[in-house]
Amino acid sequence: MSTRYLAHHIIYRGKDHGMAVLELIERPDGTRRVSIEPFVREVHSTSFHSGTIRVTDGTDGPELSFE
């Protein structure tokens, strides 16, 4: 299972990804992997955030902050 967000800016590990899609992919062991790709096309299951999403590495996996 995965969760997708499209945002004007996604900041992860010090890098600003402009107009990109953030995908949190749940692995079989319950942990989540972060994938960030440039925006290419709309997908109906992608939530749009008109701003910045900051992704930090928390003790329980990636944590999102919507600004």
pLDDT tens track, the chain, 67 positions: 889 999 999 999 999 999 999 999 999 998 999 999 999 987 888 999 999 999 999 998 999 999 9
Q: Is the pTM of this model over 0.85?
A: yes
Structure confidence at residue 34 (pLDDT) = 97
Q: How far, in Å, CA of 33 to CA of 26, rounded?
A: 6
- The token pair at 35 is 């994938």
Amino acid sitting at position 21: V
Q: How far, in Å, CA of 2 to CA of 57, rounded?
A: 17
